[in-house]
């Protein structure tokens, strides 16, 4: 574990680390915000999974979450979205390859050897965080776009791990969307039965979550046809999921949207983590 940078923020510290990843076969980078309360003992954790083209840095510098996390006494973890480097497979398209790991374990060439973001986020990185003053018995998770997809699927497939889950403009039904079918075919192969485990709408229809959910979606999002929020909203209603799905009038897909509602999300998770 190598500390790459450390900055004082809202009485706590925003750090960036690199470490060797077995799951991804090389170095990975993540951001970790420790609030002032971490100086007195372990604090709960809120994961933030980022979207297409993003690194660990986008949400760390644009979402504005640290102030609210400091006030609540919650740590923030910002993983990267894929393995990176000259020796890592990539694609000319922005929505496949580096920066577009989709939080799955790839099984197809040339991706299978390095693109194992599911194992990295679900298992390897949490184990690596055990050296920090974090209470890993109290975790919550959120994400934006591709990261919202990751947050929802990780929470639904790890019942009991997260006290709450939220998402900003998640890719809600990837098995039926251009953002999903292309990537799942490339990473997981053409057997669509294997894709269902990474579709939050399908997982929600199977029974949903035993914890509260908060979804925010902008009405002027330029990617609405790829996100398919109506499918997830209908699945939440059908399963009587404990949650709130909000259509935010006039907002698009950018970090201006995320930063406008990040306080609500941190507060939402704090209520679940400290209840």
pLDDT digits (tens, 9 = 90+) for 118-127: 999 999 999 9
pLDDT digits (tens, 9 = 90+) for 98-133: 999 999 999 999 999 999 999 999 999 999 999 999
Distance (Å, rounded) from C-alpha 80 to C-alpha 100?
A: 10
The reported pLDDT for the residue numbered 45 is 98
Phi, psi of 59 (to 5 degrees): -70, -35
- Stretch 13-38: mean pLDDT: 98
The reported pLDDT for the residue numbered 53 is 97
Of 145, 220, 232, 156, nearest in space to 180 by CA? 145
- Stretch 40-55: mean pLDDT: 98
Contact 241, 204 (CB under 8 A): yes
The reported pLDDT for the residue numbered 23 is 97
Query: pLDDT tier at 88 (50, 70, 90 boundaries)?
Result: very high
Q: Which ranges in the chain belong to alpha helices (H)?
A: 57-62, 66-72, 117-119, 125-128, 146-157, 178-188, 200-205, 224-227, 229-238, 255-273
The reported pLDDT for the residue numbered 76 is 98
Q: Which residue has the tokens 């914890």?
A: 211
pTM (two decimals):
0.97
The reported pLDDT for the residue numbered 28 is 98
* Secondary structure of residue 154 in the 3-state scheme: helix
The reported pLDDT for the residue numbered 15 is 98
CATH architecture of structural domain 2-274 = 3-Layer(aba) Sandwich (3.40)
Query: pLDDT tier at 199 (50, 70, 90 boundaries)?
Result: very high
Phi, psi of 17 (to 5 degrees): -125, 150
The reported pLDDT for the residue numbered 180 is 97
The reported pLDDT for the residue numbered 253 is 98
Distance (Å, rounded) from C-alpha 199 to C-alpha 13?
A: 35
The reported pLDDT for the residue numbered 69 is 98
Query: pLDDT tier at 72 (50, 70, 90 boundaries)?
Result: very high
The reported pLDDT for the residue numbered 113 is 95
The reported pLDDT for the residue numbered 114 is 97
For the chain, domain boundaries:
2-274
The reported pLDDT for the residue numbered 50 is 98
| Positions marked active-site | 145, 221, 253
The reported pLDDT for the residue numbered 216 is 98
């Amino acid at each position: 574990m190598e500390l790459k940078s450390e900055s004082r923020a809202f009485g706590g510290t925003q750090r960036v680390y690199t470490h060797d990843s077995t799951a991804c076969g090389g170095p990975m980078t993540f951001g970790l915000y420790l609030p002032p309360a971490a100086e007195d003992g372990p604090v709960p954790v809120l994961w933030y999974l980022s979207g297409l083209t993003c690194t660990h840095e986008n949400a760390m510098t644009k979402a504005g979450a640290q102030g609210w996390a400091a006030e609540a006494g919650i740590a923030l973890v910002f993983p990267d979205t894929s393995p990176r480097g000259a020796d890592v497979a990539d694609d000319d398209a922005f929505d496949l390859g580096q920066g577009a790991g989709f939080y799955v374990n790839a099984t197809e060439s040339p991706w299978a050897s390095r693109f194992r973001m599911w194992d990295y986020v679900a298992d390897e990185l949490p184990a690596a965080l055990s050296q920090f003053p974090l209470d890993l018995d109290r975790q919550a998770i959120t994400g934006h776009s591709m990261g919202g997809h990751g947050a929802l699927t990780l929470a639904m497939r790890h019942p009991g791990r997260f006290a709450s889950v939220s998402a900003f403009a998640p890719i809600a039904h990837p098995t039926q969307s251009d953002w999903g079918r292309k990537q799942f075919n490339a990473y997981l192969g053409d057997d669509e039965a294997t894709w269902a485990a990474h579709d939050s709408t399908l997982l929600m229809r199977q029974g949903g979550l035993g914890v509260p959910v908060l979804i925010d979606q902008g009405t002027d999002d330029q990617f609405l046809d790829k996100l398919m929020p109506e499918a997830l909203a209908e699945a939440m209603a059908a399963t009587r999921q404990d949650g709130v799905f909000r259509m935010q009038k006039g907002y698009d897909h950018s970090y201006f949207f995320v930063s406008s509602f990040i306080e609500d999300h941190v507060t939402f998770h704090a209520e679940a983590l400290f209840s």
